[in-house]
Amino acid sequence: MFIGLGVRNAWRNRQKSLLIIISMAVASLMLGSALSLSQGYPANIDIVQRGFMGGDVAVYAPRFAISQADLSGDFTYARLPADDLSALTDLDPELYQEGFLTLSGGGQGYMPLVETADRLSTSRYVRAVYPYYILPGFWSGADKSGTPAPLRGRNPFLDRVYFHYQDTVVAGRYLDTTDEGQMVAVVDVGRQRQGLPLPAVGDLVAVRVPAIRTDASGQIYYDYTASRVFTFQVIGQVSMATRQYSYGSGRDTRSVQLYWNTPQIMIPSSTWQEIYYQMSGGQRVTAVPEMGVILGDLSQANDVAADLQARLPERTVVAVPAHIAVAASRGLPEPLDQIPPEYRPNTAPKWQLGMPVDMTSLIMLVVYLTAGLLAATNMLALLTRRRQEMGILRALGATAGEVVLMIETEVATLAILGVAIGFGLVRIVAIATLVSNQVSAAGIVANTLADLGRVLGVTVVCSLVFGLFPALRAVHMRPVEVLRRE
């Protein structure tokens, strides 16, 4: 009966309880956002960059200290190898130029290929692992000889199926599975924007590649004193448009198309492996600096990245869109030279990748404390005006516990109303993301219910805890004290 009365009171007093509803709505909106939106991304986000890195989640060989907990452990200062060619040099140049903090022994530039791939594959969210095959290479033509032309081994199947790289072609064609083992290459027209020679389709490209050695600790290094030239026929040119960059305001607003530019000479992966074999003195590739992980569903990208990070504590695992967002906020990685300096983002590093402490829990705690205090204040004011009602209930024989139950039900009902508004708003966007990732209806329902359960649980518990004080105050009286005064 008291639960029913509480629900009715909540509905009857909903306008006087707007503060509770709004505060709980805001809190659940924020928690809902943290749970739903920060998890993942629409299916087509950063497709070019994901394609370049070979996955939705990137695994880097070095382990950057990524939390305060890490820093309380045994950590050291490390630097990437001078000839590191992973995407890190594009996305976070400071790591490459100035070094980073790492857990002891976690600063290596390469990681074991098969072992890492096996461990990644144990996650049910991982659809494919795409090793980042890269070798230093130098232009060996007559013009601008010695300029960068790193050799990148690409998987034509994955590039076509997952990243639609054939859509980036501006001349010729993209690599195909039939090209495996052939001395053919695709180049990015961005080479021209970087001031590097751009071969046309049909041209022959000569690239000098250093010998590959392994030191006593098993780490790879390159011997530039022993090198060899490999020649490829260019079969296609790609142009990797990434985003529109708008600057200025009002009528002066301008928009510039930005491009991902890479000097890489992209060749079939089996061709690349053959070159590696030849330049390493008959070794098969056993270590890579980076690895892309293709997921079935980007809407879980951050969660999966966190899960994979737990499986590979000695590596750094990040969701590529998250990494791209960090880089983009600093005006990286696309060059912004054509944009007036005053409109360029501040390129100074704001944080090292992964270094920011995860403040979500703390922020949520503060948000819920605030919401709870607002709810308690609102309820206190409301119950002060309703002391007579409490007195009557007590006079009729309701125990303190029953009246508390009624008030707590009232607060919880208002909180649920808040959750319905806050979570509902944020969930619309989250569901759109899930739909874009082609998550099944059952998956969307399960995901929504799981998040709703968490938001509802936290919000209702918060409302109950903070509703307890006004409730106990309201029943801490003798009925006659109230009824005599009224």
Half-sphere exposure of 28 (CA within 13 A, CB side): 32
What's the closest the beta carbon of residue 24 comes to other proteins, in angstroms?
23
Name which of 73 and 401 has its Cβ closer to other proteins. 401
147 contact partners, CB below 8 Å, separation of at least 6: 138, 139, 196, 197, 263
Q: Which of 215, 337, 342, 486 binds other proteins (CB under 8 A)?
A: 486
188 forms bridges with which residues in the sheet?
Answer: 238
Scanning 5-13, 231-239, 282-290, 409-417 for contacts with other proteins by CB under 8 A, the matching segment is 5-13
Cis peptide before 197 (omega within 30 of 0): no
What's the closest the beta carbon of residue 10 comes to other proteins, in angstroms?
12
Taking alpha carbons only, the member of 281, 286, 279 closest to residue 211 is 279
In order, the DSSP letters of 384-446 are HHTHHHHHHHHHHT--HHHHHHHHHHHHHHHHHHHHHHHHHHHHHHHHHHHHHTT--HHHHHH
Interactions with other proteins, residue window 395-454 (CB under 8 A): 395-401
What's the closest the beta carbon of residue 478 comes to other proteins, in angstroms?
6
> Judged by CB under 8 A, does residue 37 bind other proteins?
no
Name which of 124 and 476 has its Cβ closer to other proteins. 476
Name which of 312 and 400 has its Cβ closer to other proteins. 400
Q: Which residue matches tokens 């309820």?
A: 379
Phi-psi domain of 91 (left: phi exceeds 0; alpha: psi -120 through 50; beta: other):
alpha
| In 268-399, alpha helices (H) | 269-279, 301-311, 320-328, 360-385, 387-396
Number of residues lying near other proteins (CB under 8 A)? 23
What's the closest the beta carbon of residue 417 comes to other proteins, in angstroms?
18
> Judged by CB under 8 A, does residue 479 bind other proteins?
yes
End-to-end Cα, the chain, rounded Å? 25
What's the closest the beta carbon of residue 409 comes to other proteins, in angstroms?
15
Scanning 40-48, 163-171, 436-444, 476-484 for contacts with other proteins by CB under 8 A, the matching segment is 476-484
Contact 228, 177 (CB under 8 A): no
Name which of 8 and 344 has its Cβ closer to other proteins. 8
* Separation of alpha carbons 35 and 32, rounded Å: 5
What's the closest the beta carbon of residue 465 comes to other proteins, in angstroms?
22
In order, the DSSP letters of 250-289 are GGG-EEEEEEE----EEEEHHHHHHHHHHHTTSPPP-EES
Name which of 3 and 421 has its Cβ closer to other proteins. 3
Scanning 78-86, 288-296, 372-380, 473-481 for contacts with other proteins by CB under 8 A, the matching segment is 473-481
What's the closest the beta carbon of residue 404 comes to other proteins, in angstroms?
11
Interactions with other proteins, residue window 6-35 (CB under 8 A): 8-9, 12
Q: Is the dihedral of CA 61, 64, 69, 71 positive or negative?
A: positive
What's the closest the beta carbon of residue 473 comes to other proteins, in angstroms?
14
Binding marks (x or -) toward other proteins, 359..398, rule CB under 8 A?
-----------------------------xx-xxxxxxxx
* Amino acid found at 37: L
DSSP single-letter state for residue 148: B
Half-sphere exposure of 322 (CA within 13 A, CB side): 24
Name which of 119 and 473 has its Cβ closer to other proteins. 473
Q: Chain centroid to CA 375: how far?
A: 34
What's the closest the beta carbon of residue 382 comes to other proteins, in angstroms?
13
* Separation of alpha carbons 47 and 27, rounded Å: 33
Name which of 215 and 486 has its Cβ closer to other proteins. 486
Name which of 153 and 391 has its Cβ closer to other proteins. 391
Q: Write out 174-204 in H/E/C secondary structure.
A: CCCHHHCCCCEEEEECHHHHCCCCCCCCCCE
* Separation of alpha carbons 198 and 200, rounded Å: 6
Name which of 13 and 237 has its Cβ closer to other proteins. 13
What's the closest the beta carbon of residue 397 comes to other proteins, in angstroms?
2
Q: Where are the beta strands (DSSP E) in 33-165?
A: 57-60, 75-78, 100-103, 111-112, 126-131, 133-135, 138-139, 151-154
Scanning 243-251, 365-373, 422-430, 472-480 for contacts with other proteins by CB under 8 A, the matching segment is 472-480
What's the closest the beta carbon of residue 381 comes to other proteins, in angstroms?
17
Interactions with other proteins, residue window 70-129 (CB under 8 A): none
Q: Which of 16, 144, 311, 478 binds other proteins (CB under 8 A)?
A: 478
> Judged by CB under 8 A, does residue 51 bind other proteins?
no
Contacting residues toward other proteins, per CB under 8 A:
1, 8-9, 12, 388-389, 391-401, 478-480, 483-484, 486
